[in-house]
């Protein structure tokens, strides 16, 4: 709920209560039955798991062992580092399909099963809650359930019978998740909902039947695709109602508004559309589950572009996303589990690869932080003007503004409401006559939360040059002159869109183009969907607001590029 609306509602309730108190001679004792219901054991467990972290691309790897996707073998030191970072739980995805034998037993390789148990025990021994899930099996073989129903069900049942038996007496800090991101080939949503309901019910029956601590262990059920669209939530709600088991939790995943999440279709900013998508997701999840006493685990969250590298999204924009998401999770009572396939916490040094990003995530577990419309101000040497940045104060106040650690005096900047103006005199002093690039760093400090960092960048119009190359290796020589590439548009001469994702002129960052060492590289994936012999007009958009025009023509495997 909006904080101001909440405050207004609270004030109205308080006023009404005061009026009643003045009118009545005495107040009756509160009725215990009217109090808010106590948290169930499942709600307490899921709340205690906040925040959580994913051991991604490890036991879930499709390959010979847990190192198949590039991460080292798991050691107890890793979970020690996770716990030290403030996490209270870890999700351990495991893929079993390649480790299962043939029908009818579908026996799991005992060496792999022992290793899964060993890793689970390492995390439990560290004092962490653990969520174990059946992971890439969802697309390896579970998705064939419509065509091979009995075979898939038999394999699924056998798998969970073995897992339930293996973990029946483990600590109740171990939770089990039926299947990751369930999906079913060749059926519509109604049929898929029925199939998922069948799997979730079978999972529930199998685990509960093994007794021991499995009799009341918290079990976690996903929506279809682990998606938070209302239809998916409603279908899972029906399963919860039918099972009528207080020791259940729901799980969904969230990777943001898709154009922003991968930086395509002009979605390079965490703008109002992207924010509304995040808000809508948490509102639906809260209203569908949390408000009904069903605890929710956001089993994975992040940005999809991070699968390539975290630089696919501009730093300030991703910080705003994680700040907002953390706030919404905290205020709606959703437990979060950060997806990390090795791009966040270095599995060897146990250092966070982007400390500023982790600091933002960590702070969001406790409170909001002020943000701003941008974290970079571009100044053209010799043509310096005032620049204004809009602050998102989140009901805080600005304590001070610092430049490279030095507290600025009030006369050195102007602050009116949420508008921070950096006068030309200040900016000119910062950029001086030095080289292009970052010339100073401002920090806006708020009454609470993290400061907001703004780079002051000396920049001028980028200069491009003609080039030749091939569809496999083509790059536009670029003197960026301090500026930074935000996105790229591609159109044919008739105005239609060129390249992948033909429904938009804005192409996907890094998949089709990327700035690299004095060049803008055009990837083979871009030329793979460009018409042979048809010139393509490119518009490069830079973070300063500048644009640059360029034309490329593919002739067979040869590519020529010209300025303009």
Alpha carbons 132 and 95: distance in angstroms, whole number: 11
Alpha carbons 361 and 386: distance in angstroms, whole number: 32
Dihedral (C-alpha) 314, 317, 321, 323: value to the nearest 10 degrees?
A: 110
The string over 533-558, giving b where at least 16 C-beta atoms fall within 10 Å of a residue's C-beta and e elsewhere, is eebbbbebbbbbebebebebbbeeee
Instruction: Judge whether 300 counts as a catalytic residue.
Output: yes
**Block residue for tokens 């939360």:** 449
- Give the residue from 216, 198, 118, 110 showing the smallest Cα distance to 157: 198
Q: Are 442 and 453 in contact (CB under 8 A)?
A: yes
311, 391, 475, 504, 543 from 261: Cα distances, Å: 12, 23, 25, 16, 18
The string over 195-223, giving b where at least 16 C-beta atoms fall within 10 Å of a residue's C-beta and e elsewhere, is bbbebbeebbebbbebeeebeebbbbbbb
- Give the residue from 49, 53, 88, 37 showing the smallest Cα distance to 333: 49
DSSP collapsed to 3 states, 509-564? ECCCEEEECCEEEECHHHHCCCCCCCCEEEEEEECCCCEEEEEEEEECCEEEEEEC
Strand partners, 560: 468, 553
3, 331, 345 from 12: Cα distances, Å: 14, 21, 47
Q: Cis bond leading into 335, ω under 30°?
A: no
Alpha carbons 189 and 384: distance in angstroms, whole number: 57
Task: Say which DSSP state 63 is in.
Answer: S
Task: Say which DSSP state 143 is in.
Answer: G
- DSSP alpha helices (H): ranges in 174-314? 189-209, 230-243, 258-262, 272-288
For residue 411, give every residue at least 6 positions away whose Cβ sits within 8 Å of its Cβ, in sequence order, or none. none
Q: Which of 177, 300, 314, 489 is catalytic?
A: 300
204, 265, 378, 526 from 238: Cα distances, Å: 14, 36, 53, 44
Q: Which of 181, 317, 323, 362 is catalytic?
A: 181
Q: What pairing do the DSSP bridges indicate for beta strands 89-94 and 52-54?
A: parallel
Task: Say which DSSP state 81 is in.
Answer: H
Alpha carbons 180 and 294: distance in angstroms, whole number: 19
Instruction: Tell me how far apart the 2 most distant CA atoms of the chain are, in Å.
Output: 91
Alpha carbons 311 and 297: distance in angstroms, whole number: 27
Residues with a known catalytic role: 181, 300
């Amino acid at each position: 709920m909006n904080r101001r609306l909440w405050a207004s509602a609270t004030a109205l309730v308080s006023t009404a209560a005061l009026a009643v108190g003045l009118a009545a001679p005495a107040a009756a004792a509160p009725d215990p039955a009217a109090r808010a219901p106590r948290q169930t054991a499942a709600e307490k467990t899921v709340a205690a798991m906040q925040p959580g972290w994913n051991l991604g691309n490890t036991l879930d790897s499709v390959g010979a062992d847990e190192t198949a996707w590039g991460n080292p073998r798991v050691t107890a030191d890793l979970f020690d580092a996770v716990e030290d970072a403030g996490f209270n739980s870890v999700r351990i995805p495991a893929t079993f399909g390649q480790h299962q034998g043939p029908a009818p037993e579908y026996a799991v390789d005992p060496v792999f099963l022992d290793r899964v148990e060993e890793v689970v025990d390492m995390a439990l021994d560290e004092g962490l809650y653990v969520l174990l899930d059946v992971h890439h099996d969802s697309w390896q073989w579970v998705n064939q359930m419509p065509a091979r129903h009995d075979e898939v069900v038999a394999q699924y049942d056998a798998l969970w019978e073995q897992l339930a038996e293996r973990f029946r007496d483990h600590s109740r800090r171990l939770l089990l998740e039926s299947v990751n991101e369930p999906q079913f080939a060749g059926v519509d949503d109604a049929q898929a909902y029925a199939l998922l309901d069948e799997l979730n019910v079978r999972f529930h029956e199998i685990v509960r039947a093994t007794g021991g601590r499995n009799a009341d262990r918290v079990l976690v059920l996903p929506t279809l695709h682990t998606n938070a669209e209302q239809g998916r939530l409603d279908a899972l709600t029906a399963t919860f109602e039918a099972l009528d088991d207080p020791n259940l939790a729901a799980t969904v995943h969230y990777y943001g508004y898709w154009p922003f999440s991968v930086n395509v279709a002009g979605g390079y900013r965490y703008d109002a559309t992207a924010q509304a998508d995040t808000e809508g997701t948490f509102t639906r999840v809260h209203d569908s589950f949390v408000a009904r006493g069903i605890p929710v685990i956001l089993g994975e969250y992040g940005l999809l572009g991070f699968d390539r590298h975290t630089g696919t999204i501009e730093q300030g924009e991703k910080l705003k996303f994680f700040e907002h998401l953390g706030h919404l999770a905290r205020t709606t009572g959703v437990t979060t589990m950060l997806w990390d396939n090795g791009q966040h916490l270095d599995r060897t040094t146990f250092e966070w690869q982007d400390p500023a990003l982790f600091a933002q995530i960590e702070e969001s577990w406790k409170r909001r932080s002020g943000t701003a419309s941008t974290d970079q101000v571009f100044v053209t040497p010799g043509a310096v003007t005032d620049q204004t940045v809009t602050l998102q104060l989140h009901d805080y106040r600005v304590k001070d503004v610092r430049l490279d650690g030095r507290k600025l005096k009030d006369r050195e900047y102007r602050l009116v409401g949420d508008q921070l103006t950096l006068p030309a005199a200040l900016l000119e002093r910062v950029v001086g006559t030095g080289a292009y690039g970052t010339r100073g760093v401002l920090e806006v400090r708020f009454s609470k939360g993290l400061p907001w960092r703004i780079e002051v960048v000396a920049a001028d119009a980028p200069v491009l040059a003609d080039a030749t190359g091939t569809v496999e290796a083509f790059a536009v020589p670029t003197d960026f002159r301090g500026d930074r590439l935000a996105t790229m548009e591609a159109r044919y001469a008739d105005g239609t869109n060129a390249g992948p994702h033909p429904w938009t002129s804005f192409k996907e960052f890094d998949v089709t183009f990327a700035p690299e060492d004095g060049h803008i590289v055009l990837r083979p994936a871009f030329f793979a969907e460009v018409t042979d012999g048809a010139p393509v007009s490119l518009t490069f958009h830079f973070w300063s607001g500048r644009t640059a025009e360029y034309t490329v023509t593919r002739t067979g495997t040869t590519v020529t590029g010209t300025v303009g």
